């Protein structure tokens, strides 16, 4: 089914595709994928090459652009763009607390969710590509987790690619989740230190909020239990270009005076809720650590276990002395499934995923070493979400991949940089720079 309509300067076509849940069982259960085709109005009738955009996450639907926002305007100069809602996200068949009980109990839900990693996403892409391109290969632009998917694409289905463009998304080819988080916590600490250097007044504000949360039971308007650990997880904002500023403005009006004494303001609570709730993207919490699973070792709540190796992130210990309270970053913890009402019904399902020991390898080193697909990657220096050293080791393992290492942008450079990031990557794969 397709529906075509217009926005300023672009023509949009909505597509729905039916694909197998398990591509190894094509006659079995099916799910739906939604994708939005975008083409410049003055090129709508042209025979253009395709660019497939894979969103970061996991668990987020594709961007909902208006017209030619961000990098899209540059892409539309020469491509017909497909914005794919990866399986389980956006308008594709959803996977959340409301729909997963249709699978059965937690064990059945966990089995179902094993089909929501990069390998299944790439097979989805290959299932729909011939229907759109007539069989021609397309260029993939992978942001963050979308870049992980792009590297799997190069490993498993390179014949489907004309080029691979990756932004902030070169994964380690062999690191366990523990290795990922051992590298992550020191980066997070540096980002927090940079935030406090920019906004020193926030040191005391954060200490006051943390102290309040340790001594009060705070429940947000939707039933989210705001613990000090949950508050610390707002540090995920520090991985984006404007995140430090947005966090500062959120913190500056945390308290109001009430007849019962100081309390967290309604405005603060509402903004915190918008940042912390997983209601719109529960897959992120459910399969985030699973994207690193590649062998018989369980992920076993890696971020939570590894955090214990970094006692400087313990808010109570910081408050007992005169140290600043540190935020954390892009990590998922078991307590989130107690705090967040969107995740509470899925706690046992998450536990079963964390205990799995049958993850398939996602990357083929031999095939990557023989790669013939033109490929380029933007590697953001000291990216909070993806370790730079891991990314550069992977870049060296992919034959012919060219890197652009820059500290001009944070993890969201492809959004914040307008046309510049995509322009640079296209020039690299075309040997124009």
- pTM (two decimals): 0.97
- 283, 57 Cβ separation under 8 angstroms: yes
**Euclidean distance between CA atoms 86 and 80, whole angstroms:** 18
**What residues of the chain score a pLDDT lower than 50?**
none
- 125, 35 Cβ separation under 8 angstroms: no
CATH superfamily assigned to domain 2-174+363-429: Alpha/Beta hydrolase fold, catalytic domain (3.40.50.1820)
How far CA 335 is from CA of 50, 239, 274, 301, 347, in Å, comes to: 42, 22, 18, 10, 9
User: What dihedral do alpha carbons 98, 99, 104, 107 form, nearest 10°?
Assistant: -90
277 is catalytic: no
**Euclidean distance between CA atoms 315 and 131, whole angstroms:** 53
Strand partners, 4: 13
Residue 255: what pLDDT?
98
Catalytic residue among 120, 144, 277, 302: 144
% of the chain surpassing 70 pLDDT:
100
How far CA 268 is from CA of 249, 250, 272, 326, 341, in Å, comes to: 10, 7, 6, 19, 19
**Euclidean distance between CA atoms 78 and 66, whole angstroms:** 18
Q: What is the pLDDT of residues 184-243, one digit of tens each?
A: 999 999 999 999 999 999 999 999 999 999 999 999 999 999 999 999 999 999 999 999
Residue 4's Cβ-side half-sphere holds a number of Cα atoms within 13 Å equal to 6
Residue 384 in 3-state DSSP?
Answer: coil
**Euclidean distance between CA atoms 180 and 171, whole angstroms:** 9
Those residues whose C-beta lies under 8 Å from the C-beta of residue 229, and which sit 6 or more positions away, are 315, 328, 333, 335
Query: Nearest to residue 101, comparing CAs of 307, 395, 344?
Result: 344
Catalytic residue among 115, 212, 333, 411: 411
Q: Which two tokens stand for residue 198?
A: 């920019």
144 is catalytic: yes
End-to-end CA, the chain: 42
DSSP designation for 225: B
- 77, 46 Cβ separation under 8 angstroms: no
Backbone angles phi, psi at 118, to 5 degrees: -60, -35
User: What dihedral do alpha carbons 106, 109, 113, 114 form, nearest 10°?
Assistant: 70
Catalytic residue among 25, 322, 358, 431: 358
Residue 111: what pLDDT?
98
- 126, 161 Cβ separation under 8 angstroms: no
How far CA 329 is from CA of 3, 63, 239, 410, in Å, comes to: 39, 22, 8, 14
The sign one gets for the Cα dihedral 247, 248, 249, 255 is positive
What value does the mean pLDDT of the chain take?
Answer: 97
Name the pairing type of β-strands 80-85 and 138-143: unpaired
Q: What is the pLDDT of residues 274-287, one digit of tens each?
A: 999 999 999 999 99
Q: Show me where the domains of the chain are located.
A: 2-174+363-429, 177-354
- Taking residue 246's Cβ as centre, other Cβ atoms within 10 Å add up to 15
Tokens 């953001």 identify what position? 380
């Amino acid at each position: 089914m397709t529906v075509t309509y217009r926005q300023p300067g672009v023509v949009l076509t909505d597509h729905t595709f039916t694909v197998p849940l398990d591509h190894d069982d094509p006659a079995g259960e099916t799910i739906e994928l939604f994708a939005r085709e975008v083409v410049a109005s003055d090129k709508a009738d042209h025979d253009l090459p395709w660019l497939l955009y894979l969103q970061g996450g996991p668990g987020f639907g594709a961007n909902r652009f208006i017209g030619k926002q961000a990098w899209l305007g540059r892409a539309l100069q020469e491509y017909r763009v497909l914005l794919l809602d990866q399986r389980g996200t956006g308008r594709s068949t959803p996977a959340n607390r409301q729909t997963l009980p249709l699978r059965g109990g937690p064990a059945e839900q966990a089995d179902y969710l094993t089909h929501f990693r990069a390998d299944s996403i790439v097979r989805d892409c290959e299932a729909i590509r011939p229907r759109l391109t007539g069989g021609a290969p397309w260029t993939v632009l992978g942001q963050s987790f979308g870049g992980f998917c792009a590297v799997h694409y190069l490993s498993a289905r390179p014949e489907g690619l004309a080029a691979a463009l990756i932004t902030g998304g070169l994964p380690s080819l062999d690191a366990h989740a523990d290795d990922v988080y051992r590298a992550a916590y020191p980066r997070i600490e540096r980002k927090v230190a940079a935030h406090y250097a920019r906004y020193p007044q926030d040191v005391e504000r954060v200490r006051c909020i943390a102290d309040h949360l340790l001594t009060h039971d705070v429940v947000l308007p939707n039933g989210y239990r705001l613990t000090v650990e949950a508050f610390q997880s707002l540090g995920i904002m520090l991985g984006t270009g404007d995140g430090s500023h947005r966090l500062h403005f959120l913190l500056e009006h945390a308290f109001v005076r009430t007849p019962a004494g100081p309390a967290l303001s309604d405005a603060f609570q509402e903004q915190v809720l918008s940042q912390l709730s997983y209601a719109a993207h529960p897959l992120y919490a459910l399969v985030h650590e699973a994207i690193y699973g590649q062998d018989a070792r369980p992920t076993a709540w890696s971020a939570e276990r590894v955090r214990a190796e970094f006692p400087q992130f313990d808010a109570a210990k910081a408050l007992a002395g005169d140290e600043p309270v540190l935020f954390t970053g892009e990590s998922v913890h078991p307590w989130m499934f107690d705090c967040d009402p969107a995740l509470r019904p899925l706690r046992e399902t998450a536990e079963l995923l964390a205990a799995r020991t049958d993850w398939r390898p996602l990357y083929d080193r031999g095939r990557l070493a023989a790669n013939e697909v033109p490929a380029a990657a933007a590697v953001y220096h000291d990216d909070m979400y993806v370790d730079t050293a891991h990314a550069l080791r992977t870049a060296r393992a992919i034959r012919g991949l060219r890197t652009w290492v820059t500290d001009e942008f944070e993890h969201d450079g492809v959004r914040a940089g307008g046309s510049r990031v995509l322009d640079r990557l296209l020039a690299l794969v075309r040997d124009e720079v």
